[in-house]
Structure 1
Amino acid sequence: MTQTKPPWDWEFDWHLTNRCNFFCEYCHPQIRYVLNRKHLDEPTPELVVRRFDELGKVCLVHMSGGEPFMFPGFVELCRGLAGNHFISINTNLASDDVAEFAERVPAGRVAKIVAAIHQPERELRGLELDAYARNYLILRRGGFDVTALYVLYPPLLGRFAADLDRLRELGVDHVRAKVFKGVYEGVRYPEGYTDEQKALVLANSGEYVFNRPYLDGMLSFRGQACTAGVTSFKVTVTGDVRRCASVPTGYGNLYDGTFQPADVNEPCPAKRVLVLSQCLSYLVYPPVRPEQGVDPDDL
């Protein structure tokens, strides 16, 4: 996750489950209204670990969803993948399995954990922020690189400062705020932020360096060659392997063993990219290369 050569050969952005214990208003509509309402039978942890091992490459496996901790046997899956690979996780930490994860999965094989706060959803479900903080601190004290994430959905901008103060009181010491990507009241974001709102976003971004390029409108790299499909890939909930989140070119299926990567870097055909951090890390000639590389909360 740095400019230095990483200890892995390939990266996979894996939407491993549709299951989610939250129903956030600002979740991507395709996930909120389509994917999360159709629970598929997930593969066993043993099958997934075997398929990654069979690739003969050291992989970084970014896991998102849905909520990764709701994948059946998730801790066992992470422990298995950590044997020969590295993982990163985008989670809401609203799971009773966090302590077991911290005990059984080696922190040195976990590149990053991005822990989304989703405070309005917690309040709707009667979930205390203290419980989030306890799980966060279990991971921090266990040596994991974990960062709290606050999505700057327009209706939340007025309460963000107070929420941030409360998190700090609870010991949540690494917080990043991220632009909202989507449509709110007929306005598309991040383009729709006012100048005042943009200043608030940039002042509270923390270590998240991609807010500025999002706000600057860096949303297309059409015609520029990238390594997606060659050394980085998107895996859907059914195991299908695609070039990236923005380009659905297929490369077989990871679960059934038919996955085959492309041989050469191809130009990006997307008119608008969905995951800016991926593009800035995978472009052959990137205009900017932020120091921490791809961010799992973008996945």
Structure 2
Amino acid sequence: MFPAEAQIWIDWHLTNRCNFFCDYCHPQIRHVLNKRHLDERTPKECAAAFDAIGPTCGILMSGGEPFAFPGFVDLCRLLTRKHFIAINTNLSFTEDIRCFAVSVPTDRVSRILAAVHVEERERNDLPLEDFGRNFRILRDAGYDITAAYVLHPELLHRAESDFERLRSAGVDRLVGKVFKGIWQKRRFPRNYNDEELSVVRKLITDYHVGAAYIDRDWNFSGAACRAGTNSFKVMITGDVRRCVSVPGSLGNLFDGSFTRRSEPAPCTAKRILVLSECAEHLVERPVEFEALLGGDRVGK
């Protein structure tokens, strides 16, 4: 996802603020949206904390909705003076998106992943055509942007027609993402039924890691991984974890107690939550995993 100049990769859960309330949002996130930890550090404080790490970082910002973070565009300006950023966004904050497009350098933004969340857009009276306009603003400004549509079982009856509408609205890079979670006592993506899978497989062709999620439940226990040495998960509070799948603390980014491990360590995750991070940071990927990914490194 990030260029070689970014010596450290950080997956930053920036905020719990969000103007959407998707049914399929991760339960531990959805439960606290707009309720807890809404006293975030200022953009200047955040940027100073990342600068203090030393090396150039690649910082993926998600949430919640990053554009709902107070002063988000200012934060991006400050971070990109030294670091590279990537953003997961619902693409609904039009005025901030316009400001971002004219003030944040494209060569410091590695990727923007724009999630469609079609039912929430309808609930908030935000047409897909508006999504297409904001997508084009960023694409035409020169950013590497891809739209993502979560293939939740309740959306599969309409997903193909939604794809057509999005493409008609100028969304020319669009992928289907498998749903990860529990719905009606079924754990996904392993438990799509045959009818659901026929739609899912048709729409994940450009999402290479999607097939890997469907294929099996992965476990890399004991495999050497660089998470904790050059890759980290940072929470809203600044607490640092080895990765999203492994609990435990490596200190806090904001109080100066954050420390990096010096060597790769065995994976201890009981359940793999983000396969793309494993693809990037395992010292040696299993042969069968490599084959499913087609040898490509993938973004989150």
Q: Same fold (TM over 0.5)?
A: yes
Cα displacement (A) at 1:29: 0.6
Verify the 8 A CA contact 2:88 2:114 in the aligned structure 1.
Answer: yes
Residues of 1 paired with 2:278 and 2:210: CA distance? Answer: 14
Q: 1:36 to 1:294 in 2, by over 3 A?
A: farther
What is the match of residue 13 of structure 2?
15
What is the match of residue 66 of structure 2?
68
What is the match of residue 297 of structure 2?
293
Cα displacement (A) at 1:39: 4.1
What is the match of residue 136 of structure 1?
135
Mapping for residues 1-299 of structure 1, pairs under 5 Å: 1=1, 6-95=4-93, 96-287=95-286, 288-289=289-290, 290=293, 293-296=297-300
Verify the 8 A CA contact 2:190 2:217 in the aligned structure 1.
Answer: no
Q: 1:164 to 1:108 in 2, by over 3 A?
A: same
Residues of 2 paired with 1:241 and 1:21: CA distance? Answer: 26
Q: Gaps (5+ residues) in structure 2?
A: none
Residues of 2 paired with 1:200 and 1:7: CA distance? Answer: 39
Cα displacement (A) at 1:253: 0.6
Write the deviation string for residues 91-130 of structure 1: whole angstroms up to 9, x where unpaired: 0011020010010000110000000000111111111212
Residues of 1 paired with 2:27 and 2:256: CA distance? Answer: 30
Q: 1:251 to 1:35 in 2, by over 3 A?
A: farther
Residues of 1 paired with 2:223 and 2:272: CA distance? Answer: 12
Residues of 1 paired with 2:298 and 2:242: CA distance? Answer: 15
Cα displacement (A) at 1:36: 4.2
One-letter identity of the residue aligned with 1:239: G
Residues of 2 paired with 1:57 and 1:294: CA distance? Answer: 23
Residues of 1 paired with 2:283 and 2:194: CA distance? Answer: 32
Residues of 2 paired with 1:176 and 1:282: CA distance? Answer: 23
Q: Gaps (5+ residues) in structure 1?
A: none
Residues of 2 paired with 1:134 and 1:207: CA distance? Answer: 22
Residues of 1 paired with 2:203 and 2:36: CA distance? Answer: 36
Number of positions where the alignment pairs a residue of Structure 1 with one of Structure 2: 294
Cα displacement (A) at 1:273: 0.8
Cα displacement (A) at 1:201: 1.7
Secondary structure of the 2:250 match is strand
Verify the 8 A CA contact 2:228 2:241 in the aligned structure 1.
Answer: yes
Residues of 1 paired with 2:112 and 2:296: CA distance? Answer: 13
Verify the 8 A CA contact 1:175 1:206 in the aligned structure 2.
Answer: no
Q: CA RMSD in A?
A: 1.4
Cα displacement (A) at 1:218: 4.2
Q: 1:46 to 1:292 in 2, by over 3 A?
A: farther
Cα displacement (A) at 1:197: 2.4
One-letter identity of the residue aligned with 2:55: K
Verify the 8 A CA contact 2:209 2:298 in the aligned structure 1.
Answer: no
Verify the 8 A CA contact 1:11 1:231 in the aligned structure 2.
Answer: yes
Verify the 8 A CA contact 1:201 1:211 in the aligned structure 2.
Answer: no
Residues of 1 paired with 2:40 and 2:4: CA distance? Answer: 29
Residues of 1 paired with 2:298 and 2:61: CA distance? Answer: 13
Structure with more contact order per residue of length (Cα contacts < 8 Å, sep ≥ 6): 1
The percentage of counterpart residues that share the same residue type is 51
Write the deviation string for residues 169-212 of structure 1: whole angstroms up to 9, x where unpaired: 11110001000001111111011112332232222114211111
Verify the 8 A CA contact 2:16 2:64 in the aligned structure 1.
Answer: yes
Residues of 1 paired with 2:4 and 2:155: CA distance? Answer: 36
Write the deviation string for residues 142-176 of structure 1: whole angstroms up to 9, x where unpaired: 00000001000001011001101101111110001
Verify the 8 A CA contact 2:221 2:267 in the aligned structure 1.
Answer: yes
Residues of 2 paired with 1:199 and 1:222: CA distance? Answer: 31
